[in-house]
A and B are shown apart, each in its own frame.
Chain A
Amino acid sequence: MVGTKMKRLIQKILPHPFLTLLLAVVWTILQNSVSAGMIVFGIILGIVIPFTTARWWPDRPDKMRLVPMLKYCLLVIWDILVANVQVAWIILTKSNAQMKPCWVVIPLELKSPEAITILAGTITLTPGTVSSDLSDEGHSLLVHALDSDDPDAVRDEIKDRYERRLLEIFQ
């Protein structure tokens, strides 16, 4: 009994622990110097802001796994580097006539708007693909590829590489 009460209390004070951590870290970096006072102030901000704004974000994802999220960020940064070189090569060496821009339709298994936003952002940040639109009920994502022989391969890669991991993070 005490355990569940305690849990509910913590949930009320810390509605969004990840946001608390993020705000504290951003505040500390913004100060540009690490001192105990600034870290404490950052943590206070990180508690007060999510607490006062929680009611305006009712359907937030209730849990998010931090370690897979960090792994996902590293994977995306690596992919951005690799894909940048590939796309620079395409732009410099291929003529417009040789390029095959195409639309790729990605059926979504993700449900939460936050997860879909992260997926769409990832697709746009990795060069060569830009996420353009969502279907009106939110079941598929429209992506434009700069140069691809096989739209199905692009779709499968995005589903396997990013969406599967996001499903793990937001399950």
Chain B
Amino acid sequence: MITEIALTVGVIISLIIGLFFTGVAGIGLLKLDNAMSRLHAPTKAGTVGIGAFLMASVLHSFLLGQGSFHEFLILGFLFITAPISANFMAKVNLHRQNCTPPPAPPRDDMWATLNVPEADRELADPQELA
């Protein structure tokens, strides 16, 4: 009985935490005013927000008496893939130059994304893409 109550409370708290962080991520996505800043919002929803929802799912499965750990795999795969999609979006922003230009790297010539071959420079023109 006591464990059931504790698990139920745990599920509720996890759901509230998850709701809060995904909610804040949504607000951030609407509120922030430049493309690079907006990238910060989904990384937050993808970590603690989803993590708390999955935690609620794990606790709920124990409440039903069928313990499940699949959720930790989901979280693991998410942690591997989320930074890659964020990196792709950042690269698109850099390529289309809709952010403040970054400082030059100290040792090498250029940032990899900006290192466009001479023949393809026109394609990188933001005016043409817009």
Knowing A134-B112, A135-B110, say if A125 contacts B105 (CB, 8 Å).
Answer: no
A128 within 8 A of B: yes
Within 8 A of B (CB), among A1-45: 26, 29-30, 32
A133 within 8 A of B: yes
Knowing A30-B70, A91-B28, A128-B40, say if A137 contacts B108 (CB, 8 Å).
Answer: yes
A19 to chain B, nearest CB (A): 14
Please give the number of chain B residues whose Cβ is less than 8 angstroms from any Cβ of chain A in the complex: 48
Nearest residue, chain B, Cβ from A122 = B83
The total of Cβ contacts below 8 Å across the A-B interface reads 132
Give chain A's interface secondary structure class: mixed
- In the complex, which residues of chain A have a beta carbon less than 8 angstroms from the beta carbon of B84? 121
* B72 adjacent to A29 (CB under 8 Å): yes
Please give the number of chain A residues whose Cβ is less than 8 angstroms from any Cβ of chain B in the complex: 38
Nearest residue, chain A, Cβ from B107 = A139
* B94 adjacent to A133 (CB under 8 Å): yes
Residue among A88, A99, A138 facing the most chain B CB atoms (10 A cut-off): A88
* B83 adjacent to A121 (CB under 8 Å): yes
> Among the listed B37, B39, B44, B79, which residue makes an inter-chain contact with A84, where contact means beta carbons less than 8 Å apart?
B44
* A125 adjacent to B82 (CB under 8 Å): yes
Question: A136-B111, A139-B106 known; 15 other A-B pairs, CB under 8 Å?
Answer: A32-B70, A91-B24, A121-B80, A121-B84, A127-B47, A130-B36, A130-B39, A130-B87, A131-B83, A133-B91, A133-B113, A135-B105, A135-B112, A136-B108, A137-B108
10 contacts between A and B (CB under 8 A): A29-B73, A87-B44, A96-B31, A101-B37, A103-B102, A120-B83, A134-B111, A136-B112, A137-B107, A144-B36
Q: Which residues of A contact B (CB under 8 A)?
A: 26, 29-30, 32, 80-81, 84, 87-88, 91-92, 96, 99, 101, 103, 105, 107, 120-121, 123-125, 127-128, 130-140, 142, 144, 146
